[in-house]
Amino acid sequence: MPHPGTLSLDHVGKRYPVHGGELEVLRNVTLTVDPGEFVSVVGTSGCGKSTLLRLIIGLDGSYEGDIRLDGARIRGTSLERGIVFQEHRLFPWLTVEENVALGLLRSRLPEAEKRRSIAEHIALVGLAGFEKAYPAQLSGGMAQRVAIARALVNRPSILLLDEPFGALDALTRAALQTELQRIWQAEGITTILVTHDVAEAVYLGDRVVVMQPSPGRIRRVLPVPLPHPRDRADPRLADLERNVLDELAGLA
């Protein structure tokens, strides 16, 4: 089993130099994500939620404040932190299997172990039988599942998802949200999901972090004290959704 990590953000800020000054994209973001917890981050465009994820994954190294995984300051990218982007970003010249294997390229596991992990994770995302398919042959939803398998195959301590289902149609999105919930329950991995879909955020998260823009900062953190797996029809979910929407509307 992967060991779920603790992520702590301490007064994290980010500025970009722009023509004539500076653009403050994030300010004073402080948050701790407990091991195995599922945190959803919602907000409108410009609230910096994607930027925050890029800082955590290590694609951008300059920021103010502190980002620590299990107490250690993060440095650049690492196999300890996995990410699923909005686009599946699979390499089109590799099969499903080979794409997932990419996640283990830097791992020191013996070959047999690697093969097992790859097969397990392909099965985990429900794509057993599609190992030899090429991305061009897959639907959007299937490709995104492969991306999830790729992110999980090296058993990271934390999984980040940046609007992973934003590019999919509503029906596929709903199906994958349920899938994600199942996978998360099976793996028990610390997860942060960034989305602009409030229903998705509330359905999946243990806590919902509402962000406000200009500059991006945390407005409120709403707990979702419902047990998993959740039922979409649960009226308490609808209430929570309304709460979040009110928070967001309060910014309009």
Binding region for other proteins (CB under 8 A): 16-18, 23, 25, 44-51, 57-61, 76-79, 82-83, 85-87, 89, 91-94, 102-103, 105-106, 134, 136-137, 150, 162-163, 196, 216
Question: 3-class SS at 56?
Answer: helix
Q: How far is the CB of 196 from other proteins (least distance, A)?
A: 6
First vs last C-alpha separation in the chain: 44
- Residue 237, judged by CB atoms within 10 A of its CB (0-12, 13-18, 19+), counts as middle
Under 8 Å between Cβ of 172 and 143:
no
Q: What is the largest CA-CA distance in the chain?
A: 56
Q: How far is the CB of 43 from other proteins (least distance, A)?
A: 8
Q: How far is the CB of 180 from other proteins (least distance, A)?
A: 19
3-state secondary structure 70-112: CCEECCCCCCCEEEECCCCCCCCCCCHHHHHHHCCCCCCCCHH
Q: Which is nearer to other proteins, 102 or 119 (CB)?
A: 102
Q: Which is nearer to other proteins, 31 or 237 (CB)?
A: 31
Pairing of strands 7-18, 21-33: antiparallel
CB atoms inside a 10 Å sphere around CB 21 = 9
d(CA 60, CA 76): 7
Q: Which is nearer to other proteins, 52 or 202 (CB)?
A: 52
Q: Which is nearer to other proteins, 141 or 156 (CB)?
A: 156
Q: Which is nearer to other proteins, 45 or 73 (CB)?
A: 45
Output the CA angle 85-163-39, nearest 5 degrees: 105
Q: Which is nearer to other proteins, 139 or 185 (CB)?
A: 139
Q: How far is the CB of 85 from other proteins (least distance, A)?
A: 7
Question: 3-class SS at 131?
Answer: coil
Q: How far is the CB of 167 from other proteins (least distance, A)?
A: 11
Q: Which is nearer to other proteins, 61 or 250 (CB)?
A: 61
Strand partners, 140: none
Q: How far is the CB of 79 from other proteins (least distance, A)?
A: 6
Q: How far is the CB of 154 from other proteins (least distance, A)?
A: 8
d(CA 31, CA 53): 13
